Amino acid sequence: MTAGSTGARLRDRLDEDDGSTLLLAIFYCILGLAIIIVVASATTLYLERKRLFSLADGAALAAAEAWTLDQVTLEGDELALVLESAAVHEAAAAYLAESSTDLAEVQLVRAASDDARSATVTLRSVWRAPLHSEFVPLEVPIEVTVTARSVFH
């Protein structure tokens, strides 16, 4: 074998490789678009959950303040208050009715006081994908639970 014949064979092989980069470029463009769609959708899902969490936080805070002076008792040297679940639910529902939000289908799942000192509020909403594709589901239910406690000094 001579060096000239090896170089000729190498050139022949390189000439046979026509068109393969176009297919590879198309594949990477599709992969890049899919990644962009998934990341954008995940970001909107995260932000929607944060907004629902903020709304639930406000409702729990309003519900934790749903007591009257008649419910304050003296325990030893400290004052304590007793929260009733009915008052907690009513205060959370009133807060949600007064709040303006553009979250989809917000539902008050649960608002109660389990230990008579703190208010627990659970809200549910539905997130809808901004870009519909095969990679991202069309809608996802979101549920958050927040607990707040009121301190009487």
Q: Identify whether 6 is part of a domain.
A: no
**Confidence (pLDDT) at 122:** 96
Can you count the helices (H) and strands (E) in the chain?
A: 3, 5
- For 55, the domain range is 19-149
**Confidence (pLDDT) at 17:** 57
Is 91:84 a contact under the CB 8 Å cutoff? no
| pLDDT above 90: residue 110 | yes
For the chain, the domain total comes to 1
Q: Identify whether 45 is part of a domain.
A: yes
Q: Identify whether 10 is part of a domain.
A: no
**Confidence (pLDDT) at 16:** 62
- Give mean pLDDT, residues 7-21: 67
Q: Identify whether 134 is part of a domain.
A: yes
DSSP string covering 59-81: HHHHHHT---GGGEEEETTEEEE
Q: Which of 150, 74, 146 is nearest to 111 (CA)?
A: 146
Q: Identify whether 112 is part of a domain.
A: yes
| pLDDT above 70: residue 135 | no
Q: Identify whether 11 is part of a domain.
A: no
Min mean pLDDT across 1-10, 56-65, 76-85 is at 1-10
Q: Identify whether 44 is part of a domain.
A: yes
Q: Identify whether 3 is part of a domain.
A: no
